[in-house]
A and B are shown apart, each in its own frame.
Chain A
């Protein structure tokens, strides 16, 4: 049977305290006072939907050799409107180039849409296995409801037909141009209509028939659903749909609003994975629903294998890796929502990115692939014609070697207050890989005082710099301190 064979999740480490947001705006909107509860996940300045998707997918694939036949990337906040975002993710994962890639976007149900497409492709024999990644970092206006309600995050799962953790039973969808919100092409922010209308005229009328039809296709009664996964920022709306559909109120899953907020197209998948990790038992039926100019409803059933499965990093671990952020100004700065004096050094223009070089060196820049000298065995980054080992110097002997998962530690470091970074001071230094190889790199997700010589680091795919003049995002790998669990 086709189903989910592995999964992983990512939630950015920073958790903006909602109180910090409310404190900034309550002068203008006293009604916010009651919303100063919990926290929302918040990307570091160098994270976006692609980098989060890479981390979730890394956890899902967990360094295995076998590559999926296709990758589906779902997001309404992809960094590129015309450049295959899924292809960037695939490159960072070091997946082979002979695979299919698709971006699915423009609706909040793009995540379940990608999942359905992957299930269909595997069921139909198009690929043996597909990778689905959903990731969102939605930009919101300061003081908007979304600023409080949303969070950033990503989820990834592989779809296959053997060794499934969760089997796909049935699905049903509806396509209705119900415009609860929209974002025109080239616009930064959503424009939303009244919540009561969305709840009563949209959710309550469009979703239940789809659920009923999906359950019917699966041969299940509403009472058979043990876990009902549906995200909505509208209070009590999901409970109402459950009641209306005959699903037990106990089945309604926590939408994680208090600990991370709603991560757009990734949220149904994040909630599903959270359920799989925390409460789903083999044999349980799961209903996953998402809403966005229509509705998708998927009916799934956990297999015996789920009990023995542990993700390399699931939602539970991702949520546990957190650092409270009480400085709302930092959120505004990271999201370019405030006009900051960044100093003349920020004007530095590395000129346009030479796309010829980006392509020629794509395995190095996106996949962190260096070289291994077949003569002396020395690992080195970057790969070069002549071996870096002064005792070797062999020519044309290097085979590609990925450094993404190599163990590394700090050799030298500094915290630099002079050079421009969106999050000063800029931490960078030389890292050495335990099996050989080294390079000078940026440290990310780091606080002053965190770094010292000898500390273990792991490599993460992040934004290197943003060419705002031309709208280009450069990615590369940075080092992140390995924190004890």
Chain B
């Protein structure tokens, strides 16, 4: 019987570049920026890193394929570098690789770095996905907002929600994230917005307007992990350890079998259930201090609150409107601005979420600091509602 990952791995150091339209640099420089902070935080020398996991999603507009871009940019000492790609959950995947390497005993210290350079496309929004030789011949030519907007139609139908009521609730989600992002010096979007602005913004994919969509940003994030014992030996106190690390992937049933109603994430529910079990959490609404969810679109955040068992099914709208997830609410969500405002450099996002939870747990989140958080959760999603990769990670103070 597997014993799970709980408390087997500690975070030794983390770093994150400034996110945004980084016309000033490429993916290579972004990686250095994040790594420089992480290794300083870890207080080790680069020669002490045993292996690295590296996440990027796009290839042709980014740094290219393979592990070499990381190895070369950081001048790593000829160690193993594994490139991972799992859509927008790639960052969580890199972290998982490094954590598992340490937990297995194969490495003492491992590195995870995620990067994405998106602003070399020449246009706004994410580049079109697709790929393969069969898919383009039959799959709808959707965009990310159009794919996630599908949730809204099904959620409304299932719960009998009026369009305007839904629009206002998802609008509040974005207003909250902008308020949080305004306090984050590394965030891409740092202006507060009003509900009126959200509701009157140009339509992107019904019912999602411009402010229902997250930032398309350049950025990188890095994590250095080791065992709690080594962390202590290196003189670290206030250790943050990994409590759970779960990944669930669609197997085509949402897309091809009529059992799914289109209004929620089947995979998130599975990954969250396993993560809570692994972390020993049985009342998430009471036990989770804060979380970062994959708010690629406001509607994603809304349904995810229910999928993570934080809001009751059909109850997320009420919680959102009650301020339950605001910075001063019971479970602050996207306290760093989230994908919405911190930004969403795809390969980096999963690690960026952990970066904020780590800072908060260590009491180093500056103006955004919450009082005494003990459990931080990240939810990192790749793909589309009908076919996706859901990663849930829980970290907390090492006892």
Query: With A411-B154, A418-B125 known to touch, is A465 a contact of B142 (CB < 8 Å)?
Result: no
Report yes or no: A348 in contact with B256, Cβ–Cβ below 8 A. Answer: no
Q: For residue A429, which residue of chain B has the nearest CB?
A: B150
Smallest distance from the beta carbon of B106 to chain A beta carbons, Å? 34
Report yes or no: A413 in contact with B150, Cβ–Cβ below 8 A. Answer: yes
Report yes or no: A412 in contact with B253, Cβ–Cβ below 8 A. Answer: no
Contact with B along A153-170 (1 / 0, CB 8 A): 000000000000000000
Query: With A414-B149, A415-B205, A440-B386 known to touch, is A428 a contact of B140 (CB < 8 Å)?
Result: yes
Place the interface of chain A in its size category: 35 or more
Report yes or no: A415 in contact with B206, Cβ–Cβ below 8 A. Answer: yes
What residues on A are CB-neighbors of B122 within 8 Å?
Answer: 344
Report yes or no: B140 in contact with A343, Cβ–Cβ below 8 A. Answer: no
B125, B130, B137, B149 interface centre (most CB from chain A within 10 Å): B137
Interface membership of A271, Cβ < 8 A: no
Interface membership of B257, Cβ < 8 A: yes
Q: Which of B45-53, B84-92, B172-180, B258-266 contacts A (4 or more CB under 8 A)?
A: B258-266
A348, A356, A417, A465 interface centre (most CB from chain B within 10 Å): A417
The answer for the CA separation of A50 and B133 in the assembled complex, in Å, is 23
Q: Which of A22-30, A65-73, A255-263, A419-427 contacts B (4 or more CB under 8 A)?
A: A419-427
Q: For residue B135, which residue of chain A has the nearest CB?
A: A350
What residues on B are CB-neighbors of A245 within 8 Å?
Answer: none
The answer for the CA separation of A430 and B257 in the assembled complex, in Å, is 11
Report yes or no: B257 in contact with A390, Cβ–Cβ below 8 A. Answer: yes
What residues on A are CB-neighbors of B134 within 8 Å?
Answer: 354, 357, 361
Smallest distance from the beta carbon of A232 to chain B beta carbons, Å? 41
The answer for the CA separation of A421 and B156 in the assembled complex, in Å, is 26
Smallest distance from the beta carbon of B215 to chain A beta carbons, Å? 15
Report yes or no: B256 in contact with A426, Cβ–Cβ below 8 A. Answer: no
Interface membership of A437, Cβ < 8 A: yes
Report yes or no: A428 in contact with B386, Cβ–Cβ below 8 A. Answer: no
What residues on B are CB-neighbors of A354 within 8 Å?
Answer: 133-134, 137
Interface membership of A131, Cβ < 8 A: no
Report yes or no: B128 in contact with A465, Cβ–Cβ below 8 A. Answer: no
Report yes or no: B149 in contact with A344, Cβ–Cβ below 8 A. Answer: no
Report yes or no: B153 in contact with A414, Cβ–Cβ below 8 A. Answer: yes
Query: With A413-B150, A418-B205, A419-B146 known to touch, is A432 a contact of B258 (CB < 8 Å)?
Result: yes
Smallest distance from the beta carbon of A51 to chain B beta carbons, Å? 15
Query: With A343-B123, A365-B137 known to touch, is A416 a contact of B143 (CB < 8 Å)?
Result: yes
What residues on A are CB-neighbors of B206 within 8 Å?
Answer: 414-416, 425
Report yes or no: A412 in contact with B262, Cβ–Cβ below 8 A. Answer: yes
Smallest distance from the beta carbon of A447 to chain B beta carbons, Å? 13
What residues on A are CB-neighbors of B312 within 8 Å?
Answer: none
Please pick, from B145, B152, B156, B262, the residue contacting A411 in the complex, using a CB distance under 8 A: B262
What residues on A are CB-neighbors of B139 within 8 Å?
Answer: 440
The answer for the CA separation of A364 and B154 in the assembled complex, in Å, is 27
Query: With A412-B154, A417-B205 known to touch, is A388 a contact of B137 (CB < 8 Å)?
Result: no
Report yes or no: A412 in contact with B153, Cβ–Cβ below 8 A. Answer: yes
What residues on A are CB-neighbors of B208 within 8 Å?
Answer: 414
Report yes or no: B255 in contact with A439, Cβ–Cβ below 8 A. Answer: yes
Interface membership of A464, Cβ < 8 A: yes
Interface membership of A311, Cβ < 8 A: no
Interface membership of B370, Cβ < 8 A: no
Interface residues of B in 110-126 (CB under 8 A from A): 121-123, 125
Report yes or no: B255 in contact with A416, Cβ–Cβ below 8 A. Answer: no
Report yes or no: A418 in contact with B256, Cβ–Cβ below 8 A. Answer: no
Report yes or no: A429 in contact with B136, Cβ–Cβ below 8 A. Answer: no
Smallest distance from the beta carbon of B335 to chain A beta carbons, Å? 29
Please pick, from B205, B253, B259, the residue contacting A416 in the complex, using a CB distance under 8 A: B205
Query: With A350-B130, A357-B133, A416-B143 known to touch, is A453 a contact of B154 (CB < 8 Å)?
Result: yes
What residues on B are CB-neighbors of A327 within 8 Å?
Answer: none
The answer for the CA separation of A381 and B258 in the assembled complex, in Å, is 11
Q: For residue A358, which residue of chain B has the nearest CB?
A: B137
B151, B157, B208, B262 interface centre (most CB from chain A within 10 Å): B262
The answer for the CA separation of A464 and B137 in the assembled complex, in Å, is 7
Report yes or no: B142 in contact with A440, Cβ–Cβ below 8 A. Answer: yes
Place the interface of chain B in its size category: 35 or more
Interface membership of B194, Cβ < 8 A: no
The answer for the CA separation of A421 and B146 in the assembled complex, in Å, is 13
Report yes or no: B386 in contact with A418, Cβ–Cβ below 8 A. Answer: no
Report yes or no: A476 in contact with B137, Cβ–Cβ below 8 A. Answer: yes
Report yes or no: B150 in contact with A426, Cβ–Cβ below 8 A. Answer: no
Report yes or no: B123 in contact with A417, Cβ–Cβ below 8 A. Answer: no
Interface residues of A in 464-479 (CB under 8 A from B): 464-465, 474, 476
A432, A440, A452, A453 interface centre (most CB from chain B within 10 Å): A440
Interface membership of A378, Cβ < 8 A: yes
Report yes or no: B140 in contact with A440, Cβ–Cβ below 8 A. Answer: yes
Please pick, from A350, A415, A417, A441, the residue contacting B136 in the complex, using a CB distance under 8 A: A350
Interface membership of B252, Cβ < 8 A: yes
What residues on A are CB-neighbors of B262 within 8 Å?
Answer: 411-412, 430
What residues on A are CB-neighbors of B23 within 8 Å?
Answer: none
Report yes or no: B204 in contact with A417, Cβ–Cβ below 8 A. Answer: yes
Interface membership of B203, Cβ < 8 A: yes
What residues on B are CB-neighbors of A426 within 8 Å?
Answer: 141-142, 146
What residues on A are CB-neighbors of B151 within 8 Å?
Answer: 412
Report yes or no: B141 in contact with A421, Cβ–Cβ below 8 A. Answer: yes
What residues on B are CB-neighbors of A190 within 8 Å?
Answer: none
Interface residues of B in 237-286 (CB under 8 A from A): 251-253, 255-259, 261-262
Smallest distance from the beta carbon of B338 to chain A beta carbons, Å? 20
Query: With A412-B150, A439-B256, A453-B157 known to touch, is A344 a contact of B136 (CB < 8 Å)?
Result: no
Contact with B along A249-272 (1 / 0, CB 8 A): 000000000000000000000000
Q: For residue A392, which residue of chain B has the nearest CB?
A: B257
Report yes or no: B136 in contact with A380, Cβ–Cβ below 8 A. Answer: no
The answer for the CA separation of A440 and B150 in the assembled complex, in Å, is 10
Q: For residue B252, which residue of chain A has the nearest CB?
A: A388
Interface membership of A279, Cβ < 8 A: no
The answer for the CA separation of A192 and B28 in the assembled complex, in Å, is 62
Contact with B along A346-384 (1 / 0, CB 8 A): 001011011011100100110000000000001011101
The answer for the CA separation of A413 and B147 in the assembled complex, in Å, is 8
Query: With A357-B133, A388-B256, A428-B146 known to touch, is A442 a contact of B140 (CB < 8 Å)?
Result: yes
Please pick, from B136, B141, B150, B256, the residue contacting A414 in the complex, using a CB distance under 8 A: B150
The answer for the CA separation of A438 and B255 in the assembled complex, in Å, is 7
What residues on B are CB-neighbors of A381 within 8 Å?
Answer: 256
Smallest distance from the beta carbon of B76 to chain A beta carbons, Å? 34
13 new A-B contacts at CB < 8 Å, known A358-B137, A439-B256, A474-B136: A345-B128, A351-B136, A357-B137, A388-B252, A411-B261, A411-B262, A415-B206, A420-B128, A430-B255, A438-B255, A438-B258, A442-B141, A452-B153
Q: List 8 A-B contacts (CB under 8 A).
A: A343-B123, A361-B134, A380-B257, A382-B138, A388-B256, A389-B257, A413-B150, A418-B145
Using a CB–CB cutoff of 8 Å, the interface residues on chain A facing chain B are 343-345, 348, 350-351, 353-354, 356-358, 361, 364-365, 378, 380-382, 384, 388-390, 411-421, 425-426, 428-430, 432-433, 436-442, 452-454, 464-465, 474, 476
Sort A-B residue pairs by CB-CB distance and give the 9 closest, nearest first. A416-B146, A414-B149, A350-B136, A412-B150, A354-B133, A419-B143, A428-B140, A453-B157, A416-B205
